[in-house]
Amino acid sequence: MNCTLCGDRAVILIREEQLSLCKQHLIQRILDYSRTVLEMIKPGGTSIRIAVATSGGKDSTVCLHILHSLLEEYTLDIIAIAVDEGIEGFRNIKLHRLKKFAQNLGVDLNVVSFKEFFGASLDEMVKLSLGKGFMYKPCTICGVLRRYLLNKTARELGVEYLATGHNMDDEAQSILMNILKNNIDKIARSAPITAIKHKKFIPRLKPLYYCTEKEVMTYALIQHFEIPVVDCPYLFFNERRILRRWLNKVEYLRPGTKKRLISLKNRISLNSQREPTKRVKLCTKCGEPSSEDICKTCQILEYLEINMDGG
């Protein structure tokens, strides 16, 4: 299989476009997609400080690498933040590699942990939740508390944007999940840059928004990134995993399904009569941004009877 554009050996076939790309043209394509997103924040000569939310997985590693490649072109000031949730046999392995990766790039990596900040690791929280009827599943606790800590840390580090490794597959899965939850507002708000505006909320930037997971994975392979192949022990509870598998099967049968879901989202956003931005309050317990009077993090900690002592 040869590259459609130059005839060199191809590393990827993009079925929905009948396009084969060599290493250089795939890199070019991903850089161009990321440029499209960076253009939206319109860096105008002055340096833009961005924190990349890194987990040691392929998506966030590629995101960090891509932004680092565009550092001079867009006058970016890049740092990385990693949250150590405290998942034994998983996150510690991922973070070990991530530290070396960031060090080789020369990017400052800030690691914050559930144990230090909230007073308990995710493993400990899952046990507490199990003992109380398991109202909060591991991925809910993990996701809510991780986003909370990322936002707080990014704000304290004085960044303007928090970049995440979300790709088109993640977006397509989110659209499906929100259709199933009848959450039209969330579908309409999904975008490469979040529209939530509040001085305590750091806007999210998704440089890989237009790249498929296959493109991101191939990029990680051709760049020889050493990403530990280890699954989270709580993956079984992850709803998204089920949708991901299903969507991949449908994509195989009908190439372009994921892109069509993104187009559907764009049409929903255009036709939406609702406010494009979400109203943000401040949690009455911890003072962090929240859509409810008491934020989800405080609700979870209260349920688990954990007193947040790190903040």
Binding site for Zn ion (CB under 5 A): 283, 285-286, 295, 298
Among 232, 283, 298, 300, binds ligand SF4 (CB under 6 A): 232
CB of 43 to ligand SF4, least distance (A): 32
CB 47 within 8 A of CB 71: no
Rank residues 10 and 53 by Cβ distance to ligand SF4 and give the closer one: 53
**Residues contacting ligand SF4: total by CB under 6 A:** 8
User: What is the token pair recorded at 112?
Assistant: 């914050």
Rank residues 139 and 187 by Cβ distance to ligand SF4 and give the closer one: 139
CB burial string 38-66: b at 16+ within 10 A, e below = beebeeeeeebebbbbbbbbbbbbbbbbb
- The yes or no reply on residue 98 touching ligand SF4 (CB under 6 A) is no
Q: Mention every residue, 6+ apart, whose C-beta is less than 8 A from residue 105.
A: 64, 65, 68
Among 69, 110, 238, 257, binds ligand SF4 (CB under 6 A): 238
CB 57 within 8 A of CB 84: no
Beta pairing, strands 48-54 & 19-22: unpaired
Rank residues 14 and 145 by Cβ distance to Zn ion and give the closer one: 145
Give the residues across from 10 on adjacent strands: 22
CB-count exposure of residue 308 (10 Å: 0-12, 13-18, 19+): middle
Rank residues 221 and 286 by Cβ distance to Zn ion and give the closer one: 286
Tell me how far apart the alpha carbons of residues 32 and 207 are, in angstroms, rounded to a whole number: 10
- The yes or no reply on residue 82 touching ligand SF4 (CB under 6 A) is no
Angle, alpha carbons 296-300-305 (nearest 5°): 145
Kindly write out the interface string for residues 123-152 of this chain, putting x where it contacts ligand SF4 by CB under 6 A and - elsewhere: ---------------xx--xx---------
- The yes or no reply on residue 234 touching ligand SF4 (CB under 6 A) is yes
Rank residues 233 and 255 by Cβ distance to ligand SF4 and give the closer one: 233
Rank residues 147 and 285 by Cβ distance to Zn ion and give the closer one: 285
Q: Which residue has the tokens 């659209």?
A: 175
Q: Which does 298 bind (CB under 5 to 8 A by kind): Zn ion, ligand SF4, none?
A: Zn ion
Chain positions contacting ligand SF4, by CB under 6 A = 138-139, 142-143, 232, 234-235, 238
